[in-house]
Chain A
Protein backbone atom coordinates (compact mmCIF):
# COMPACT_ATOMS: atom_id res chain seq x y z
CA UNK A 1 0.00 0.00 0.00
CA UNK A 2 1.34 3.42 -1.00
CA UNK A 3 0.41 6.90 0.24
CA UNK A 4 1.13 9.62 -2.35
CA UNK A 5 1.83 13.14 -1.01
CA UNK A 6 1.48 16.00 -3.52
CA UNK A 7 2.82 19.33 -2.28
CA UNK A 8 5.19 21.91 -3.78
CA UNK A 9 6.96 22.24 -0.41
CA UNK A 10 9.67 19.61 0.07
CA UNK A 11 9.65 20.40 3.80
CA UNK A 12 5.91 19.69 4.08
CA UNK A 13 6.38 16.43 2.15
CA UNK A 14 9.07 15.47 4.66
CA UNK A 15 6.81 16.42 7.58
CA UNK A 16 4.04 14.23 6.13
CA UNK A 17 6.49 11.39 5.39
CA UNK A 18 7.71 11.52 9.02
CA UNK A 19 4.16 11.56 10.38
CA UNK A 20 2.76 8.71 8.26
CA UNK A 21 5.86 6.55 8.79
CA UNK A 22 4.23 5.00 11.87
CA UNK A 23 1.48 3.56 9.65
CA UNK A 24 4.05 1.37 7.87
CA UNK A 25 2.88 2.20 4.32
CA UNK A 26 5.19 2.94 1.43
CA UNK A 27 5.41 6.62 0.50
CA UNK A 28 5.68 8.48 -2.80
CA UNK A 29 5.85 12.22 -3.31
CA UNK A 30 5.23 14.73 -6.09
CA UNK A 31 5.86 18.48 -6.25
CA UNK A 32 2.81 19.24 -8.40
CA UNK A 33 -0.26 17.65 -9.94
CA UNK A 34 1.42 16.82 -13.22
CA UNK A 35 4.10 14.72 -11.51
CA UNK A 36 1.40 13.14 -9.32
CA UNK A 37 -0.56 11.98 -12.39
CA UNK A 38 2.63 10.43 -13.82
CA UNK A 39 3.17 8.54 -10.55
CA UNK A 40 -0.47 7.42 -10.56
CA UNK A 41 -0.08 6.06 -14.11
CA UNK A 42 2.88 3.99 -12.95
CA UNK A 43 1.78 2.89 -9.47
CA UNK A 44 -2.03 3.27 -9.32
CA UNK A 45 -2.89 -0.30 -8.28
CA UNK A 46 -0.81 0.15 -5.12
CA UNK A 47 -1.68 3.79 -4.31
CA UNK A 48 -4.41 3.74 -1.68
CA UNK A 49 -4.53 7.41 -0.76
CA UNK A 50 -3.52 10.77 -2.26
CA UNK A 51 -2.74 13.69 0.08
CA UNK A 52 -3.14 16.82 -2.04
CA UNK A 53 -2.10 20.44 -1.55
CA UNK A 54 -4.13 23.15 -3.33
CA UNK A 55 -1.77 25.99 -4.29
CA UNK A 56 1.03 24.56 -6.44
CA UNK A 57 2.78 25.67 -9.62
CA UNK A 58 2.36 23.77 -12.95
CA UNK A 59 -0.86 21.99 -11.95
CA UNK A 60 -2.74 22.98 -8.80
CA UNK A 61 -4.70 20.81 -6.40
CA UNK A 62 -8.22 21.38 -7.68
CA UNK A 63 -7.19 20.62 -11.30
CA UNK A 64 -5.38 17.50 -10.06
CA UNK A 65 -8.38 16.39 -8.03
CA UNK A 66 -10.69 16.77 -11.05
CA UNK A 67 -8.21 14.86 -13.24
CA UNK A 68 -8.01 11.99 -10.74
CA UNK A 69 -11.76 11.78 -10.25
CA UNK A 70 -12.48 11.80 -13.99
CA UNK A 71 -9.89 9.13 -14.78
CA UNK A 72 -11.36 5.62 -15.14
CA UNK A 73 -8.45 3.92 -13.35
CA UNK A 74 -7.80 6.50 -10.62
CA UNK A 75 -11.28 7.69 -9.71
CA UNK A 76 -11.77 5.21 -6.84
CA UNK A 77 -8.57 6.29 -5.07
CA UNK A 78 -9.50 8.50 -2.10
CA UNK A 79 -8.06 12.03 -2.12
CA UNK A 80 -7.59 14.06 1.02
CA UNK A 81 -6.85 17.77 0.63
CA UNK A 82 -4.05 19.03 2.94
CA UNK A 83 -3.93 22.77 2.37
CA UNK A 84 -3.95 26.33 3.68
CA UNK A 85 -6.98 27.02 1.47
CA UNK A 86 -9.68 27.87 4.01
CA UNK A 87 -12.36 29.66 1.93
CA UNK A 88 -15.69 27.91 2.52
CA UNK A 89 -16.55 28.12 -1.18
CA UNK A 90 -13.31 26.40 -2.15
CA UNK A 91 -13.73 23.67 0.48
CA UNK A 92 -17.22 23.00 -0.92
CA UNK A 93 -15.76 22.96 -4.45
CA UNK A 94 -13.20 20.32 -3.44
CA UNK A 95 -15.80 18.13 -1.73
CA UNK A 96 -18.09 18.42 -4.78
CA UNK A 97 -15.16 17.48 -7.02
CA UNK A 98 -14.71 14.26 -5.04
CA UNK A 99 -12.33 14.96 -2.13
CA UNK A 100 -12.92 12.42 0.62
CA UNK A 101 -11.50 14.55 3.42
CA UNK A 102 -10.11 18.04 3.99
CA UNK A 103 -7.34 18.94 6.46
CA UNK A 104 -6.24 22.53 6.95
CA UNK A 105 -2.62 23.53 7.48
CA UNK A 106 -1.21 23.98 10.08
CA UNK A 107 -1.93 20.48 11.35
CA UNK A 108 -0.71 18.39 14.27
CA UNK A 109 0.73 14.96 13.41
CA UNK A 110 -2.07 13.30 15.39
CA UNK A 111 -4.75 15.09 13.39
CA UNK A 112 -3.11 14.10 10.11
CA UNK A 113 -2.96 10.45 11.17
CA UNK A 114 -6.56 10.47 12.43
CA UNK A 115 -7.83 11.94 9.14
CA UNK A 116 -5.81 9.42 7.14
CA UNK A 117 -7.27 6.54 9.14
CA UNK A 118 -10.79 7.98 8.67
CA UNK A 119 -10.21 8.28 4.94
CA UNK A 120 -8.76 4.81 4.50
CA UNK A 121 -11.42 3.12 6.63
CA UNK A 122 -14.63 5.11 6.22
Chain B
Protein backbone atom coordinates (compact mmCIF):
# COMPACT_ATOMS: atom_id res chain seq x y z
CA UNK B 1 0.00 0.00 0.00
CA UNK B 2 1.22 3.53 -0.76
CA UNK B 3 2.15 5.76 2.16
CA UNK B 4 0.06 8.80 3.06
CA UNK B 5 2.49 11.36 1.62
CA UNK B 6 2.57 9.80 -1.84
CA UNK B 7 -1.21 9.38 -1.84
CA UNK B 8 -1.61 13.06 -0.94
CA UNK B 9 0.47 14.16 -3.91
CA UNK B 10 -1.37 11.75 -6.22
CA UNK B 11 -4.69 13.02 -4.85
CA UNK B 12 -3.79 16.69 -5.29
CA UNK B 13 -2.69 16.07 -8.88
CA UNK B 14 -5.85 14.06 -9.64
CA UNK B 15 -8.10 16.70 -8.09
CA UNK B 16 -6.41 19.69 -9.75
CA UNK B 17 -6.59 17.97 -13.15
CA UNK B 18 -10.21 16.94 -12.54
CA UNK B 19 -11.21 20.48 -11.50
CA UNK B 20 -9.79 21.97 -14.69
CA UNK B 21 -11.21 19.17 -16.85
CA UNK B 22 -14.73 19.32 -15.36
CA UNK B 23 -15.04 23.10 -15.79
CA UNK B 24 -13.57 23.06 -19.30
CA UNK B 25 -15.70 20.14 -20.50
CA UNK B 26 -19.03 21.04 -18.89
CA UNK B 27 -18.85 24.87 -18.77
CA UNK B 28 -16.27 25.72 -21.45
CA UNK B 29 -14.33 27.60 -18.77
CA UNK B 30 -10.55 27.74 -18.45
CA UNK B 31 -9.26 27.32 -14.90
CA UNK B 32 -5.83 28.24 -13.56
CA UNK B 33 -4.43 26.24 -10.61
CA UNK B 34 -2.51 28.63 -8.33
CA UNK B 35 -1.20 26.18 -5.75
CA UNK B 36 -1.86 24.24 -2.57
CA UNK B 37 -1.22 25.08 1.10
CA UNK B 38 -1.57 22.98 4.27
CA UNK B 39 -3.98 24.42 6.88
CA UNK B 40 -4.74 23.24 10.43
CA UNK B 41 -8.53 23.33 9.95
CA UNK B 42 -11.33 24.01 7.47
CA UNK B 43 -11.58 27.64 6.33
CA UNK B 44 -14.96 29.06 5.33
CA UNK B 45 -13.84 30.68 2.09
CA UNK B 46 -16.43 31.92 -0.42
CA UNK B 47 -20.20 32.41 -0.17
CA UNK B 48 -21.29 28.92 -1.25
CA UNK B 49 -19.63 25.58 -0.59
CA UNK B 50 -20.45 22.09 -1.79
CA UNK B 51 -19.11 19.35 0.47
CA UNK B 52 -18.85 15.64 -0.16
CA UNK B 53 -17.69 12.83 2.12
CA UNK B 54 -15.42 10.06 0.89
CA UNK B 55 -15.06 6.81 2.84
CA UNK B 56 -13.33 3.50 2.34
CA UNK B 57 -11.62 0.68 4.20
CA UNK B 58 -8.26 2.50 4.19
CA UNK B 59 -9.43 6.00 5.13
CA UNK B 60 -12.04 8.73 5.13
CA UNK B 61 -12.28 12.45 4.51
CA UNK B 62 -14.07 15.27 2.79
CA UNK B 63 -13.75 17.51 -0.23
CA UNK B 64 -15.23 21.04 -0.19
CA UNK B 65 -15.55 23.31 -3.22
CA UNK B 66 -16.16 27.01 -2.43
CA UNK B 67 -17.09 29.92 -4.70
CA UNK B 68 -18.18 33.52 -4.44
CA UNK B 69 -21.81 33.98 -5.44
CA UNK B 70 -20.76 35.83 -8.61
CA UNK B 71 -18.35 33.13 -9.77
CA UNK B 72 -20.84 30.35 -8.94
CA UNK B 73 -23.48 32.14 -11.03
CA UNK B 74 -21.04 32.61 -13.92
CA UNK B 75 -20.01 28.93 -13.99
CA UNK B 76 -23.55 27.57 -13.64
CA UNK B 77 -24.73 30.00 -16.34
CA UNK B 78 -22.13 28.52 -18.69
CA UNK B 79 -23.23 24.99 -17.76
CA UNK B 80 -26.78 25.89 -18.74
CA UNK B 81 -26.05 28.23 -21.65
CA UNK B 82 -27.90 31.10 -19.94
CA UNK B 83 -26.87 34.57 -18.77
CA UNK B 84 -25.63 34.81 -15.13
CA UNK B 85 -28.53 37.13 -14.22
CA UNK B 86 -31.03 34.32 -14.89
CA UNK B 87 -29.36 31.85 -12.50
CA UNK B 88 -31.43 31.19 -9.37
CA UNK B 89 -30.17 30.25 -5.92
CA UNK B 90 -31.40 26.69 -6.50
CA UNK B 91 -29.47 26.51 -9.79
CA UNK B 92 -26.29 27.70 -8.06
CA UNK B 93 -26.60 25.16 -5.23
CA UNK B 94 -27.46 22.28 -7.53
CA UNK B 95 -24.77 23.16 -10.09
CA UNK B 96 -21.98 23.54 -7.54
CA UNK B 97 -23.06 20.29 -5.90
CA UNK B 98 -22.79 18.49 -9.22
CA UNK B 99 -19.34 19.98 -9.87
CA UNK B 100 -17.97 18.69 -6.54
CA UNK B 101 -19.56 15.33 -7.32
CA UNK B 102 -17.74 15.10 -10.66
CA UNK B 103 -14.41 16.26 -9.21
CA UNK B 104 -14.70 13.87 -6.25
CA UNK B 105 -15.40 10.99 -8.62
CA UNK B 106 -11.82 11.36 -9.86
CA UNK B 107 -10.48 11.51 -6.30
CA UNK B 108 -12.39 8.32 -5.49
CA UNK B 109 -10.81 6.45 -8.41
CA UNK B 110 -7.37 7.75 -7.47
CA UNK B 111 -7.77 6.61 -3.83
CA UNK B 112 -9.16 3.23 -4.85
CA UNK B 113 -6.31 2.59 -7.27
CA UNK B 114 -3.67 3.59 -4.71
CA UNK B 115 -5.09 1.63 -1.80
CA UNK B 116 -6.49 -1.34 -3.71
CA UNK B 117 -9.75 -0.94 -1.79
CA UNK B 118 -13.04 0.61 -2.93
CA UNK B 119 -14.23 4.04 -1.81
CA UNK B 120 -17.71 5.56 -1.69
CA UNK B 121 -18.91 9.14 -2.02
CA UNK B 122 -21.73 10.70 -0.04
CA UNK B 123 -24.32 12.87 -1.75
CA UNK B 124 -23.17 16.53 -1.77
CA UNK B 125 -24.20 18.96 0.98
CA UNK B 126 -24.47 22.70 0.23
CA UNK B 127 -23.57 25.36 2.77
CA UNK B 128 -24.34 29.05 2.22
CA UNK B 129 -22.86 32.14 3.88
CA UNK B 130 -19.53 33.94 3.97
CA UNK B 131 -17.23 32.65 6.72
CA UNK B 132 -19.37 29.54 7.28
CA UNK B 133 -18.11 26.57 9.27
CA UNK B 134 -18.80 22.84 8.95
CA UNK B 135 -19.70 21.30 12.30
CA UNK B 136 -19.36 17.68 11.18
CA UNK B 137 -15.99 18.15 9.45
CA UNK B 138 -12.99 15.87 10.08
CA UNK B 139 -11.11 17.34 13.05
CA UNK B 140 -7.53 17.04 14.35
CA UNK B 141 -6.46 16.46 10.77
CA UNK B 142 -4.75 18.86 8.35
CA UNK B 143 -6.56 20.36 5.38
CA UNK B 144 -5.09 20.98 1.97
CA UNK B 145 -6.35 24.30 0.59
CA UNK B 146 -6.10 24.36 -3.22
CA UNK B 147 -6.53 27.73 -4.91
CA UNK B 148 -7.86 28.09 -8.45
CA UNK B 149 -8.83 31.08 -10.55
CA UNK B 150 -11.30 31.81 -13.34
CA UNK B 151 -10.92 35.13 -15.16
CA UNK B 152 -9.28 36.78 -12.16
CA UNK B 153 -11.80 35.40 -9.64
CA UNK B 154 -10.41 32.87 -7.11
CA UNK B 155 -12.14 29.76 -5.84
CA UNK B 156 -10.98 27.06 -3.44
CA UNK B 157 -11.07 23.34 -2.98
CA UNK B 158 -10.31 21.95 0.49
CA UNK B 159 -9.36 18.36 1.08
CA UNK B 160 -8.98 16.57 4.38
CA UNK B 161 -8.19 12.89 4.47
CA UNK B 162 -7.28 10.59 7.33
CA UNK B 163 -5.75 7.18 6.66
CA UNK B 164 -6.70 4.30 8.92
Contacts and interface: CB of A to CB of B under 8 A. Distances in A.
A11 B101 contact: no
Most buried by A among B76, B90, B98, B108: B98
Contact of A11 (B22, B25, B94): B94
A55 B122 CA distance: 9
A15 interface: yes
B91 A11 contact: yes
Interface string B7-22: 0000000000000011
Given A57-B123, A107-B25, A86 B106 contact: yes
Interface string B113-140: 0000010010100000000000000000
B98 A108 contact: no
A51 B36 CA distance: 37
B118 A89 contact: yes
Contact of A15 (B79, B97, B105, B123): B79
B95 interface: yes
Contacts of A121: none
Given A18-B81, A106-B22, A11 B109 contact: no
Nearest to B119: A87
Contacts of B97: 9
Contacts of A12: 98
A25 interface: no
Nearest to A84: B105
Nearest to B28: A108
Interface in A12-57: 12, 14-15, 18, 55, 57
A11 B80 contact: yes
Contacts of B105: 84-86, 104-105
B123 A106 contact: no
B112 interface: yes
Given A10-B91, A87-B108, A105-B26, 9 more contacts: A9-B97, A10-B94, A11-B79, A11-B91, A55-B123, A87-B109, A105-B105, A107-B25, A107-B26
16 contacts: A9-B95, A10-B91, A11-B76, A11-B91, A15-B79, A15-B80, A85-B105, A86-B109, A87-B109, A87-B118, A106-B21, A106-B22, A106-B25, A106-B26, A106-B102, A107-B25
